[in-house]
């Protein structure tokens, strides 16, 4: 394998700990990588305005692949350098075919929007910790009529999320949407979420685009993740790393299993990469 020159990091349940914070050891490992000239890149389902301050405060961090690859940001200039929006016709079809019982989250230019009803009580739709409820209320703008909002802004959406009520299985819905809605990429980062973006998006596509801009090939890239929306990225990277708490399909796709996000698994993996590079 060529020396790793880019490390792509999923955030939730991978790089961040149980309190959605960056552990000191993980920060130290990221900063060490950056000081050695390795590009460390956020690769998240989160939108730009939902990225945590813990991570954004890391000196030297420049790029973020956000909204499942719908937008790539240069964080120093705080601007999107690559963006693909959900096709307007796809957004319209989704509003016709999505079960009215599902809540929606929409993202435009990195800003998230959700219904007043959902933000008033997110736990009514799926179990959430106090940390995640605070995160939702802090990062989403409240909208009275989400379906009307999506129709009004179709053609502007980076990503559209379906929030499933408890007990609803996501896989049959994902497969139906893939068949019935042309021009979209459908994935999931959590059991209660289905995330929909332009068909040419996905974390793999976002990381590949950025790697190409930086003159890198897949075997110079390492990626860390835990969920279905990370799987293709791990398969693409020369070194795909799944945390111990990852979904089974993601673990199966990985080249390396690292400790869980509660045990500084990303730090452990970065340390191994850097130690190997230095010995090489």
Q: For position 187, what pLDDT does the model report?
A: 97
230-235: Cβ within 8 A, 24+ apart: 230/10, 230/14, 230/43, 230/189, 230/203, 232/202, 232/203, 232/204, 233/8, 233/10, 233/43, 233/202, 233/203, 233/204, 233/207, 235/204
Give residue-wise pLDDT tens across range 198-223: 999 999 999 999 999 999 999 999 99
Q: For position 1, what pLDDT does the model report?
A: 42
Q: For position 279, what pLDDT does the model report?
A: 43
Pairing of strands 103-108, 79-83: unpaired
Tokens describing residue 156: 């502007």
Give residue-wise pLDDT tens across range 84-110: 999 999 999 999 999 998 999 999 999
Query: Does domain 95-198 match CATH 3.90.1720.10?
Result: no
Cβ distance 19 to 131 under 8 Å?
yes
**Count of other CB atoms within 10 angstroms of residue 253:** 20
Q: What is the mean pLDDT of the chain?
A: 94
Give residue-wise pLDDT tens across range 110-125: 999 999 999 988 877 7
Give residue-wise pLDDT tens across range 230-247: 999 999 999 999 999 999
Instruction: Please state the CATH superfamily assignment of the domain spanning residues 6-83+202-279 in this structure.
Output: HAD superfamily/HAD-like (3.40.50.1000)
> Within the chain, which residue ranges are assigned CATH 3.30.1240.10?
95-198
Question: Which residues in 107-117 are b (16+ Cβ under 10 Å) and which e?
Answer: bbebebbbbee
**Nearest CA among 193, 255, 189, 173 for reference residue 228:** 189
Instruction: Quote the CA–CA distance of 269 and 11 in Å, as a whole number.
Output: 14
Residue showing tokens 């949407």: 177
DSSP state of 87: P
Q: 160: helix, coil or strand?
A: strand
Cβ distance 104 to 163 under 8 Å?
yes
**Count of other CB atoms within 10 angstroms of residue 218:** 18
Instruction: Quote the CA–CA distance of 122 and 131 in Å, as a whole number.
Output: 12
> Within the chain, which residue ranges are assigned CATH 3.40.50.1000?
6-83+202-279
Ordered alpha helix ranges (H), the chain: 24-35, 53-56, 88-97, 116-120, 130-139, 146-152, 170-180, 203-213, 228-236, 248-253, 265-279
Tokens describing residue 7: 């490390």
Q: 21: helix, coil or strand?
A: coil
Residue showing tokens 């307007």: 88
Instruction: Quote the CA–CA distance of 7 and 237 in Å, as a whole number.
Output: 9
Give residue-wise pLDDT tens across range 235-279: 999 999 999 999 999 999 999 999 999 999 999 999 999 998 544
Instruction: Quote the CA–CA distance of 9 and 242 in Å, as a whole number.
Output: 11
Q: 198: helix, coil or strand?
A: strand
pTM of the model: 0.94
Cβ distance 170 to 229 under 8 Å?
no
Instruction: Quote the CA–CA distance of 185 and 178 in Å, as a whole number.
Output: 7
């Amino acid at each position: 394998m060529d020396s790793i020159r880019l490390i792509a990091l999923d955030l939730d349940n991978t790089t961040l700990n149980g309190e959605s914070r960056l552990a000191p050891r993980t920060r130290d490992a990221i900063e060490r990588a950056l000081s050695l000239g390795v590009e460390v890149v956020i690769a998240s389902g989160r939108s730009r305005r939902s990225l945590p301050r813990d991570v954004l405060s890391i000196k030297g961090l420049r790029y973020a692949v956000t909204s499942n690859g719908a937008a790539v940001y240069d964080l120093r200039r705080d601007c999107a350098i690559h963006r693909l929006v959900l096709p307007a016709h796809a957004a319209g079809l989704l509003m016709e075919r999505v079960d009215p019982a599902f809540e929606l989250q929409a993202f435009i230019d990195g800003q998230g929007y959700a219904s007043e009803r959902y933000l008033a009580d997110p736990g009514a739709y799926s179990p959430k910790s106090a940390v995640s409820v605070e995160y939702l209320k802090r990062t989403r703008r409240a909208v009275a009529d989400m379906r009307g909002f999506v129709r009004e802004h179709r053609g502007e959406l980076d990503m559209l999320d379906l929030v499933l009520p408890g007990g609803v299985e996501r896989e049959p819905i994902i497969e139906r949407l893939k068949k019935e809605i042309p021009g979209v990429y459908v994935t999931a980062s959590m059991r209660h979420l289905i995330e929909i973006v332009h068909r040419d998006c996905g974390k793999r596509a976002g990381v590949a685009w950025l790697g190409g801009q930086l003159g890198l090939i897949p075997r110079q890239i390492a990626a860390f993740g835990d969920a279905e929306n990370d799987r293709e990225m791990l398969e693409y990277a020369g070194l795909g790393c799944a945390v111990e708490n990852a979904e089974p399909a993601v673990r199966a796709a990985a080249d390396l299993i690292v400790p869980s996000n509660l045990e500084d698994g990303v730090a452990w993996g970065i340390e191994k990469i850097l130690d190997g590079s230095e010995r090489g």
